[in-house]
Structure 1
Amino acid sequence: MQIFRNLTFLFIVLLIQGCGSENATKTLRLGHGLDVSHSVHKAMVKMGEDLAQRSGGKLKLEIYPSQQLGTERECLELLQIGSLDMTKVSVGVLENFAPKMKVLGLPFLFRDRKHSFDVLDGPIGQSLLNEGEKYWLKGLGYYDAGSRSFYTMNKPIETPDDLKGQKIRVMESVTAVRMVQELGGSPTPISWGELYTSLQQGVVDGAENNPPSFYLSRHYEVCKYYSLDEHTVLPDVLLMGTYRWNKLSKQEQQWLTESVQESVKYQRKLWAEAEAEALREVEKAGVTITHPDKTLFAEKVSSIYEDYKDDKDIYPLIQQIKETN
């Protein structure tokens, strides 16, 4: 079955590679893992419309949502070899390809949402986007992905002690794994597309994510406790393979950059609305939402910061982020 899936996946990639080769319009192919109702997908649709308008139809965006072209990691690998043009991944996954990005995954790094935007939209965030270029990944912008919190099936997470013995799904992120370990849980990396079934079958006891993802994935049908400790603020990153970026003219790069910037602004507005709606809807569906004392969790993971004191790449970034007003 897995062999068949891989062959099907390869066939799709080869098929879309050949599309539009004889057309004067340049088509950029964007693959991602989110549902079409997600604010990020809607922002991508707007980006495609803006791009077509700005370029007078010379640039076109084709979007393949819902992991049609693979997981986040697979899409990143396709970007690196030039078989896919663009993708969106969580910064937690990107840290495996651009190590400095791991700083954004540190728990309780940002004071609030405004602080995170100031960092991401400023010199620090832009330098981190450029960090991926040495790995053939061109960072284009940050979409808002809110704050991540724990949701579980059997009991709420009110203190770190409640995580003891709990298998918690995390992304393929060293930082996320370490965080859950420090809090006393058992981190279990599982792809997003397999998580619903894993929860149903008891492979894991819970997971951690933002409200819209919790809601749109329908994980609330299985997990009836959502504890808003807001341990990390992990943005989504829009990327393009440098192979494809370098084939665009300066004018085309400008059209794309401007369209991305408008897309980011639009998505952040949608996100704020989606977050409020998600919390309302999951509560209506019987989910118990709690607000644990964040300081208990922050104290428990403080040792993670100590580990970076001798890291000449990450520790200065931590200090710069904390000093950003």
Structure 2
Amino acid sequence: MMRTAILAAGAAALMAAPVAAEDKPVNLRFGVWVGANHPLMQGTAKWMQAVEEASGGSIEFTLYPARQLGAAVDHYDLARDGIADITLVNPGYNAGRFPVISYGELPFNFKDAVSGSRALDQWYRPYAEEEMSDVKFCMAFMHSPGTIHTTAPVSGPEDLDGMSIRPANGTLGNYLSGLGATTIQASAAEMRDLLTRGTADGTASPYSSLVTWGIADAATYHLDMPMYAANFVYVISPMAWDRMSAAQQEIMGEYCSSEWAGNIVELWAEEDLKERAVLEADPAHVFSAPSEAERAAWLEATAPAVARWREMVEAAEIDADAAETAMKAAIADNDAGL
């Protein structure tokens, strides 16, 4: 367990938030499945500090990193059931359970993590009220757009035919399967072994994950175009929300925002750029930039994945046309598109 030692608000903070300072203190158990030193947690620490200071110290956090409260796939239910008060959720780990937000997993939509996170959050908020109705939605965000990293060159989609690739989520897996690849379901932690033994020919990852999981020297060819992003959300337990006063709820609502969705991934995005630069400087790594014709072929091949998304959303009685139009508007509003 790790206590957030960021309560240096003091008397000045109490004066800055006199109403919140009178509230009964609330300590929120914050469950995440990444490690405490993960780049996402650096941005999240700033968010926690901002909430604590705005509340005059009446809202505090205790962080439970590295799956201390449960497996990654269980973190939505941990919040729903009150086992944790706030959790990090990857909706893609719950295949088919959250079809609307999976639009954010479709290939070739976003250019970077910060603008993409703000667009995703802005778009998803009204849908979260229905799709995640048994928790209190806080914010949605994404990592830097990842690509495929392989043991042999890949430039056009035809190069994937016959290759075995580990996708980051089911949406990307369907896309890659449609191009002739065999998809391997495995965790990032398992990928180095699969690549070095020849069981897999590649993986879909952001650049930072190659270093985090020791994959960089096993997959030295990189498709030089942003392909996909994984979605994440922070959700609040309804029981924890009810423990908060109206003033505390107002503060949480202020900091559960599209602006902060972008803010918390800034350091993570910077880390990704640094790791890419390290690989670019290494002559053992090859970056393959698709030609215009190849790029058009990659984009054209997304049509079946979009159609599958529309079918899932319509089955959930959500207007797919309206949702897609709203997403495109949010991407334009935040200058988040490719």
Q: TM-score range by the shorter chain?
A: 0.7 to 0.9
Change (3 A) 1:33 1:218: farther
Structure 1's 159 and 273: CA in aligned 2 closer, same or farther, altered over 3 A?
Answer: same
1:148-185 residue CA offsets vs partner (Å, 9 max, x unmatched): 21012x212211122222222224x4422211211221
Structure 2 residue 267 is the aligned partner of structure 1 residue 270: yes
Answer whether contact 1:132 1:138 (CA < 8 A) is retained. no
> Mind listing any 5+ residue stretches in structure 1 that lack a counterpart?
1-11, 13-23
TM-score w.r.t. the length of structure 1 is 0.79
Q: SS at 2:56's partner residue?
A: coil
Contact map agreement 2:27 2:61 (CA 8 A) in 1: yes
- Name the SS for the 1:108 alignment partner: coil
Quote the residue 1:16 is aligned against. none
**Rounded Cα–Cα distance in structure 2 between residues aligned with 1:228 and 1:91:** 26
Q: Aligned match of 2:146 in 145, 148, 156? A: 148
Cα deviation for residue 210 of structure 1 reads 1.7
- 1:52-201 paired onto structure 2 within 5 Å: 52-93=52-93, 96-110=96-110, 116=116, 119-122=119-122, 124-134=123-133, 136-152=134-150, 154-171=151-168, 173-201=169-197
Q: How many residues align?
A: 299
Checking the alignment, whether the CA contact within 8 Å between 1:151 and 1:225 is kept in structure 2 is yes
Residues 316 and 287 of structure 1: CA distance in aligned 2, closer, same or farther (over 3 Å): same
* TM-score, normalised via structure 2 length: 0.76
State the match for 1:15 in structure 2: none
User: 1:302 matched to which residue of 2?
Assistant: 303
When Rg is computed on C-alpha atoms for both structures, the one with the higher figure is 2
Aligned letter for 1:147? P
Q: Determine helix, strand or coil for the equivalent of 1:274.
A: helix
Q: Quick check: 1:43 aligned with 2:50?
A: no
Alignment of 1:186-225 (within 5 A): 186-225=182-221
**Corresponding residue for residue 5 of structure 1:** none
In the alignment, what sits opposite 1:18?
none
Does the aligned pair in 1 maintain the 2:111–2:145 contact within 8 Å? no
Identity of aligned residues (%): 21
* Structure 2 CA distance for aligned equivalents of residues 109 and 125 of structure 1: 15
Aligned equivalent of 2:33: 33
Deviation at 1:91, TM superposition (A): 4.3
Identify the range of structure 1 (209-218 vs 41-50) with the bigger mean alpha-carbon deviation: 209-218
- AA aligned to 2:302 is V
Q: In the aligned structure 2, how far is the partner of 1:265 from the partner of 1:112?
A: 10
Could you give the per-residue CA deviations for residues 271-311 of structure 1, whole angstroms, max 9, x where no partner exists?
44223212112334533222224322111222233445663
Let me know the Cα RMSD of the aligned residues. Answer: 3.0
Q: Which amino acid aligns with 2:48?
A: G
Q: CA deviation at 1:323?
A: 4.7
Report deviation, 1:220: 0.8
| CA–CA separation in structure 2 for the residues paired with 1:213 and 1:131 | 32
Instruction: Give the secondary-structure state (helix, strand or coil) at the position aligned to 2:225.
Output: strand
Q: Say if 2:313 is the partner of 1:320.
A: no
- Per mean C-alpha deviation after superposition, the further-off stretch among 251-260 and 104-113 is 104-113
Separation of aligned partners in 2, 1:259 and 1:306:
35
**Secondary structure at the residue paired with 1:83?**
coil
Amino acid at match of 1:204: A
Q: Which moved more, 1:212-221 or 1:193-202?
A: 193-202
For residues 132 and 263 of structure 1, what CA distance do their matches in structure 2 show? Answer: 21
Counterpart position of 2:252: 256
Query: What do residues 39-63 of structure 1 show as CA deviations (whole Å, max 9, x unaligned)?
Result: 3110121222223222233222122
Contact 2:43–2:264 under 8 Å retained in 1: yes
